[in-house]
Structure 1
Amino acid sequence: MTDSLETEKSRAAAWFRSLRDDIVAAFEALEQDHTEGPLSEAAPSRFEVTETKRTSDDGSDAGGGLMSVMRGGRVFEKVGVNVSTVYGTLGERAQMAMAARKGIPGMKEDPRFWASGISLVAHMQNPHVPAVHMNTRMFWTPHAWWFGGGSDLNPCIEYDEDTAHFHAQQREKLDPHGAEFYPRLKDWADEYFFIPHRKRARGVGGIFMDDHCTGDWEADFSLTQDIGRAFLPAFVPLVRKRRVQAWNEADKDAQLVHRGLYAEYNLVYDRGTKFGLETGHDANAVLMSLPPLAKWV
């Protein structure tokens, strides 16, 4: 492992933590300054922060991170913002999955890995405010390294102008890296966040990438950073606009049904959920994406 690689891994981990801090501060500000509209008279909520630990099979330290969860607020019904850096060796199931999906040779002989990233899911009080997901990450094995992540919007009540704004912010941050990136990552998100057994998308899309490695670490890291930087400008204005709208029982029912769709996807298809559980990461942190309430019809 070269000194340069160790520096790059440290820079990536520090960036994910910095992005986490910015998002937590912005979300707590949304809680604090919600003074008009539904639930504005309730007490603002704040994040509860818990340190997470991962241990290897022999009990040795294998990394960890911070799980930050805010519940029952004026604006956010449940939101989790996790950041972690974990390392060790991949179990046999994870080795096989990695080798099969990514075509990486030698995993069985040398199954070491290192991974760092941020992941968030926000479920909102007001059904007019869309739920949202975002993550960015760096992954390393002795055989390869890559970046991944993106963000996608999951409204239960769709507004075309909100979808347009969310996508425009993504394009604005990606276009400086090359005009091909936004349409490619948009199409990737549409494919990745599709729910086969429901024959529909789980939301209105966004951007997504995985296995991103051009061989130029600086360029790939810069792209990943801008995926992260696009998130708050894409999402926060939608929250500010929609959180003041009144809702009725039918709106809330539609929200709970849509959350059921979200839960199905995360438990059945999401690669991050599968990887986190297979590698022994804190189960509560891995499953923090699940909504507090959901409904199936």
Structure 2
Amino acid sequence: MTDDFESRKSRASAWFRDLRDQIVTAFEGLETQQGGAAPGRFEITPTLRESGGGGEMAVLRNGTVFEKIGVNISTVFGTLGDRAQKAMAARGVPGMADDPRFWASGISLVAHMQNPHCPAVHMNTRMFWTPHAWWFGGGADLNPCIEYPEDTAHFHGTLQAACDAHAPDYYARFKAWADEYFFIPHRGRARGVGGIFYDDLNTGDWEADFAFTQSVGRAFLPAFLPVTERRIASPASAEDRETQLRHRGLYAEYNLVYDRGTKFGLETGHNPEAVLMSLPPVAKWY
């Protein structure tokens, strides 16, 4: 399976990079459209993983629209440590004790907005491979501190259309999974208004699963940009900012305590700045 998958690994890694470039171009265009003396621009820096692979961090800070947004790509490989092996075995991945090699590639995006009326957002897609198994995972979810039902409906509707093009049950399954996954038990609430989440996707048809993962990535900009453009000019009060900062605290709690990607990145020795890119620049707790 190793030889058969080399070209597939390359295609997946190249796609995640291409999607990153599309998103960076679109968001820098949005910064330019909104004017200002210094529209935000992404700073792209390489990241390295000592035991194999690396990637790039693309981060925009203090823009007109985005207070902080990171769009990271990575392709990493090597041997899973004991904790990661046990976690994979618990998820049903066979053969990890005999051959714990792995390869993983993906894109991860988190945006924290200047205007409290613009929702924060998360998106990621990835491919994971071992000598014994492969799968795709990812999704997107919206995190408004001030919810507008029409924004939630647009975001979910766009993701549903992407899912429906591949399987009639995908949206219902992956929406329910997102509702469960993005729940914060110690707060007794969801971190946002949901979206879709999927993992361990292996139908036996690599091309079909890759095509679905590409569709999820392509759906992100049409799901999120119209919502953002609708709220950019909304007047925001000091109270709105307080609401935003407290909601960011909730977001930070989730990412540090529960998020799978954060745990995997830190446990496998990836660049901690890249792994913790998702944290907001400013947050509050009371």
TM-score (norm 1): 0.95
1:128 aligns with 2:117: yes
In structure 2, the residue matched to 1:232 is: 221
The whole-number CA distance in structure 2 between the counterparts of 1:153 and 1:29 is 21
Cα offset, 1:3, TM superposition: 3.5
1:184 aligns with 2:173: yes
Cα offset, 1:152, TM superposition: 0.1
1:274 aligns with 2:241: no
1:43 aligns with 2:33: no
Question: What is the percentage of aligned positions where both structures have the same residue?
Answer: 71
Cα offset, 1:239, TM superposition: 1.0
The whole-number CA distance in structure 2 between the counterparts of 1:270 and 1:97 is 14
Cα offset, 1:2, TM superposition: 4.2
In structure 1, the residue matched to 2:15 is: 15
* Cα contact 2:2–2:131 (8 A) shared by 1: no
- C-alpha root-mean-square deviation of aligned residues, in Å? 0.9
The whole-number CA distance in structure 2 between the counterparts of 1:288 and 1:178 is 33
* Cα contact 1:75–1:126 (8 A) shared by 2: yes
The whole-number CA distance in structure 2 between the counterparts of 1:105 and 1:182 is 28
Cα offset, 1:142, TM superposition: 1.1
Cα offset, 1:42, TM superposition: 4.6
Equivalent residue of 2:212, what SS? helix
| Deviation >2 Å, runs of 4+ | 1-4
Equivalent residue of 1:177, what SS? coil
* Cα contact 2:109–2:124 (8 A) shared by 1: yes
Paired residue for 1:175, among 155, 158, 164? 164
Cα offset, 1:43, TM superposition: 1.8
Give 5+ residue unaligned stretches, structure 1. 36-40, 57-61
The whole-number CA distance in structure 2 between the counterparts of 1:2 and 1:110 is 12
TM-score (norm 2): 0.98
In structure 1, the residue matched to 2:128 is: 139
1:65 aligns with 2:60: no
Give 5+ residue unaligned stretches, structure 2. none
* Cα contact 1:12–1:116 (8 A) shared by 2: yes
Alpha-carbon distance change, 227 to 178 in structure 1, aligned in 2, over 3 angstroms: same
Q: How many equivalent pairs are there?
A: 286
Paired residue for 1:219, among 208, 211, 218? 208
1:27 aligns with 2:27: yes
Cα offset, 1:106, TM superposition: 2.0
Paired residue for 1:55, among 30, 50, 56? 50
| Residue correspondence of structure 1 range 69-84 to structure 2 within 5 A | 69-84=59-74
